[in-house]
A and B are shown apart, each in its own frame.
Chain A
Amino acid sequence: MTQLRVALLSSCTIEVLERPLAAALRERGFEPSFWISGFGQYRQDALDPASGLYQHDPNVVLLYLDAEDLFRQLLQNPFANVGDARRAEGRRVADDIASLVVAIRSRLPKATVVVNTTALPPLNAVTGLEFNSEFGVQDAVAEYNAGLVAFAAARNDVIVLDAAGLAASVGFSRWRDSRMWYLARLRLSKPALEALASGYASTIAARLGKTKKCVAVDLDNTLWGGIVGEDGFDGIKLGEDGLGLAFAEFQEELLNLYRKGILLAICSKNNPDDALQVIRNHPGMRLREEHFAALRINWEDKASNLRALAEELNIGLDAFVFVDDNPVERSWVKQSAPEVVVPEWPTDPVDYKSALLQLSARYFPKLGITAEDRKRGEVYQAQAARRKLESSGATIEEFYHALEMRVRVGRADSFTIPRIAQLTQKTNQFNLTTRRYTEAEIRAASEDERTEVFWLDLNDRFGPSGLVGVLILKQDAPGEWNIDTFLLSCRVMGRTVENAFLAAAAREAGATCLVGEYAPTAKNSPVKDLYARLGFAHVRDVGERRVWRLANAAKLEIPPWFQVERDRNGATADPPLITR
């Protein structure tokens, strides 16, 4: 559980959101503590340096502002404002809220602020006149939303939650509960509170990297209708005809997850030849073999197959969501692999696509797509080819040489900062200190004179792995550097990349002496002895943390199987494989 301090400010009563929001955050692995602004106090609390908001020192500030509060006068008499004056009002309110967010951020430099789009009731006094006359209200809110979105887009510390979209999805008449407004000055119904809580929790999970990585899907009656072993290649339902389209469109949404950087895997009890024939040749298939990072098509039990998939992909079982139409299989996996998320699944295939979109919003939220995300599927395919080479019987050194690895080490810059922050958020296994950083924190560190933020980019004969390593060094004294963060993406572990990385970075920083520590977590035992392996001496323990020191950093060697290209400030003709 990750401790999370949340501040909640709103234009209406919002205390009732705490309960569903706390539940939604706990489900996503957070232990929240709340500070909630009083009714109608959001402005004062944001502007008063002594307010409870700043004493709480939140990691996340949720500022829920409702259009009916922001544009109350406009709604009371929509005939008082025409055309441009109304749109100007929308822009003015957006600017006003933007300056409030700037004030909050200036006092909470590490916090993330979540603002929201908002919607007015579609049924109001100018219904019918709207868009047909000079009278209306919606364009004021449209200007407001656009202004707020543009403001947030220019800053990486402000995130937009699309509450207007949530309201449309719930249905505006269900989004409101008039009793709650008149009795408690609450603008939200129970379904609205739940949708908002889930939206906020997913946004926070995306920001802090607490999301799942892989969807494992069944085949018969999940990817296509019917059972290929019984109904045959020509007998399954898949394609443009009838219900076949429900399966084809479900596959299209899986393909969109792949494009977002989510791994797809198959976990099916089937005859592999029958199944592969469909996957490779069926004209209705939207997904092909190349979209799957790994496949388990056999008669083993599915919990064991999921474990095998986890091992092959080098991710935790807790990074999986398992989709299967069969309730018996679901219940078996729930019982025997409880780390895996096993959502209930609709019995009718027409509901598959919307069920998947809900899973996507719930377990795979993203706030940006890196080039890494877009290439992830291919990268895992190359990984499978590497594994084949490894098992081909040569010595380990021969294997390293045969990989033809080329590394580049550079300093963090605006291109690499998003990916560096993402890696600090997501990397669990090869991570010595597991310090999580936001983009703003990485940027600040890279601008600090006594701190070096290095990245590592890896290529080999099977293709690029991209930016897969981060080293943050802090200078203690001239020549003496403390290793604040040392991490590698799990998919390049076991290839001595760490030796090359630390040696190259130490040279670049001009380090003569290095101090590193190992802070144990539930997942990083693979690097427990890393510093010993690199020639460091154990000097002391601080609580659970082991501190190691290397007096002569020049001893660090780049293994002979690496070709190293140095990259000052990342400003070469060949940028690393990451942009936003």
Chain B
Amino acid sequence: MLDKRLVDTLSRVFNVDPSTITPETSPATLPSWDSVGHINLVLELEDVFGVRFSSESIPTLDSARTLQAAIDALGG
């Protein structure tokens, strides 16, 4: 289950309807989720959840599901 704030942030950053976002949403399904989009997303999520992703984890956060797991692991 995706946190509503995660869905909202994905929808806002990539300018897509929240209803289209699923755990499988990834750069492969969203063309605007490119490398710049990824940085925007990570920085936004850190503000929204008050967490800080490690430099090692940032490149691996390549789907809504892995983002949710990383946020949960950081207690966000």
Contacts and interface: CB of A to CB of B under 8 A. Distances in A.
Contacts of B3: none
A179 B47 contact: no
A16 B55 contact: no
B41 to A, nearest CB: 10
A186 B39 CA distance: 10
Interface in A167-198: 178-180, 182-184, 186, 190, 193
A15 interface: yes
A179 B40 contact: no
Contacts of B54: 179
14 contacts: A16-B36, A16-B39, A16-B40, A16-B43, A178-B55, A179-B53, A179-B54, A180-B39, A182-B55, A183-B55, A184-B35, A190-B43, A190-B46, A193-B43
Contact of A179 (B13, B35, B36, B58): B58
A540 interface: no
Nearest to B59: A183
A184 B55 contact: no
Interface of B: 13, 35-36, 39-40, 43, 46-47, 53-55, 58-59
Given A179-B54, A186-B39, 11 more contacts: A15-B36, A16-B40, A16-B43, A19-B40, A179-B53, A179-B55, A179-B58, A180-B39, A182-B55, A183-B59, A193-B43
A106 B52 CA distance: 45
Contacts of A180: 39
A180 B40 CA distance: 11
Interface in A1-39: 15-16, 18-19
Nearest to A14: B36
A176 to B, nearest CB: 13
Secondary structure of the A contact surface, majority rule: helix
A16 B59 CA distance: 16
B14 to A, nearest CB: 11
Given A190-B46, A190-B47, A183 B40 contact: no
Among A19, A179, A182: residue with most chain B CB under 10 A? A179
A314 to B, nearest CB: 40
Contacts, number: 26
Contacts of B53: 179
Interface residues of A, number: 13
A183 B60 CA distance: 12
A184 B35 CA distance: 9
A186 B46 CA distance: 17
A179 B43 CA distance: 11
A92 B66 CA distance: 49
Nearest to B35: A184
Interface in A138-186: 178-180, 182-184, 186
Nearest to A36: B36
B33 to A, nearest CB: 14
A15 B54 CA distance: 22
A16 to B, nearest CB: 5
A184 B58 CA distance: 11
A179 to B, nearest CB: 4
Sorted nearest first, the 7 A-B pairs with minimum C-beta distance are: A15-B36, A179-B55, A190-B43, A16-B39, A19-B40, A184-B39, A183-B58
Which of B13, B39, B55 has its CB near the most chain A CB atoms (within 10 A)?
B39
A183 B53 CA distance: 12
Nearest to A186: B39
A19 B35 CA distance: 14
Nearest to A177: B43
Interface in A264-284: none
Contacts of A182: 55
Contacts of A18: 36
A487 to B, nearest CB: 39
B48 to A, nearest CB: 12
A178 to B, nearest CB: 8
Contacts of A184: 35, 39
A189 to B, nearest CB: 8
Contacts of B40: 16, 19
A126 to B, nearest CB: 27
Nearest to B40: A19
A193 B40 CA distance: 11
A13 B13 CA distance: 19
Nearest to B47: A190
A15 B40 CA distance: 10
A193 B46 CA distance: 15
B75 to A, nearest CB: 19
Nearest to B36: A15
A179 B36 CA distance: 14
A17 to B, nearest CB: 10
Contacts of B39: 16, 180, 183-184, 186
Contacts of B58: 179, 183
Contacts of A183: 39, 55, 58-59
